[in-house]
Amino acid sequence: MSDTVTLTDNTTGRSVELPIQRGSEGPGAIDISTLYRETGLFTYDPGFVATASCHSAITYIDGEAGILRYRGYPIEQLAEHCTFMEVAHLLICGELPGVEKLAEFQSTIHKHMMVNESLTKFFQGFRYDSHPMAMMAGVVASLSAFYHDTLDIENLEHRAEAAQRMIAKVATIAAASYKRNIGEPFMYPQNNLHYCDNLLHMMFATPCGPYESDPVAVRALNILFILHADHEQNASTSTVRLAASSGANPYACIAAGVTSLWGPAHGGANEAVLKQLDEIGCRENIPKFIARAKDKDDPFRLMGFGHRVYKNYDPRATIIRQVAHEVLENYQGKDRRMFDLALELEEIALKDEYFVERKLYPNVDFYSGMIYHALGIPRNMLTVMFAVARTAGWVSHWMEMMCDPVKRIGRPRQVYDGAVKRDFVPMDQR
């Protein structure tokens, strides 16, 4: 039996046989690239619910079973045993690094963390209270203006350098956005510090005294960054790929990813979760908010709940929930009220028929904001932290895409619903 599917247009009676492409795991995909030529029909799939846009060997998700793997490794094992840098290497290069490879990779990233001094001046152009994601989007895009000599996307060395630069500099730009908000001087990266430690240093150290980050905070940040590093063809990664399909430079493509991540239905959810928990305020108000989430006439949604792919507990949320317990235990002074309220909200929602029927579970961002909050990272920085971690995924997809022999500009079609042809009417007759 051939691996094909036959589609028939019942109006014209025309049939077309389409091949099915199978990967190593997960659902295959009907190859419809000849469909329009053969039948004059497009496919219609708003939100790309059933559309595979590419082949990829980076991340595997089974949403029904709640499985997430990077390059074959279960996310639980990576979160327990690895640092973010090991995982970034895994995503980009395909393998976990040995001692020497990791040292070399880290040293390259550390060397790239400093940004051109004139780039730091850009921040002065932003109002002191600008959202740090707005600064991120602008400043990341402006990196394109600094590396003309290594912007040849057909050159393998240029590509590798751009990928390493992006991962390195996005942390420095994130910290500078924070410093701009709070009016403190920017801190230079320290080559002797590991990536997450370095980021905390750039955010929380001042020139006035010594700073040493808490190992609990560094470990928590490593885990959060590993969990946020990649998630196959999500909205921001698909945005990076679509931007890249035109041959745009990698810095411009990653800036596109930053802007897509910002929305509350995607990476902006972590900030929205904390805002919503504030609005809920106490246990007694939970039923009122659950009722709003269920009301079809109310656009209100329970933030941090639901996922396009996971129809089971998001495996990242399971790990993050545990990390939140550990971090909050170590930060005795921190207010646990918000975390306790979140646990209660989760418990009530998971028993509610509406959420059960629709398989709506907490996603990665339901608990991540609470950990960042406990580490002293303000709300408007939460999506920025996500962007720093996701840059590893974005550049991996960009690198993979650049090597893909099937290189075509991304160009979806549409079903046109507008006016049919009509003749121009002069102004005085309208």
Residues that bind ligand ACO (CB under 6 A): 47, 265-267, 269, 293, 301-308, 358, 360, 363-365
Of the candidates 228, 231, 365, 373, the residue annotated as catalytic is 365
State the distance between the two ends of the chain, measured CA to CA, in whole angstroms.
Answer: 62
CB 294 to ligand ACO: min, Å: 7
- CA gyration radius for the chain? 24
CB 381 to ligand ACO: min, Å: 16
Nearer to ligand ACO, 123 or 366 (CB): 366
CB 345 to ligand ACO: min, Å: 11
Nearer to ligand ACO, 122 or 300 (CB): 300
Nearer to ligand ACO, 204 or 355 (CB): 355
CB 266 to ligand ACO: min, Å: 4
Nearer to ligand ACO, 168 or 280 (CB): 280
Pairing of strands 29-30, 4-8: unpaired
Nearer to ligand ACO, 257 or 304 (CB): 304
| Cβ within 8 Å of residue 176, ≥6 positions away | 115, 120, 123, 135, 139, 186, 202
Burial of residue 212, with CB atoms counted within 10 A of its CB: 0-12 exposed, 13-18 middle, 19 or more buried: exposed
| Cβ within 8 Å of residue 279, ≥6 positions away | 289
Nearer to ligand ACO, 89 or 307 (CB): 307
Q: Is 112 marked active-site?
A: no
Q: Hunting for tokens 């239905």 — which residue is that? A: 265
CB atoms near residue 67 (< 10 Å):
17
Of the candidates 89, 131, 231, 307, the residue annotated as catalytic is 307
Residue 12 tokens, joined: 């014209």
Q: Is 325 marked active-site?
A: no
CB 61 to ligand ACO: min, Å: 12
Nearer to ligand ACO, 97 or 315 (CB): 315
CB 136 to ligand ACO: min, Å: 16
Nearest residue relative to ligand ACO (C-beta): 306
CB 364 to ligand ACO: min, Å: 5
Burial of residue 81, with CB atoms counted within 10 A of its CB: 0-12 exposed, 13-18 middle, 19 or more buried: exposed
Residues that are catalytic: 307, 365
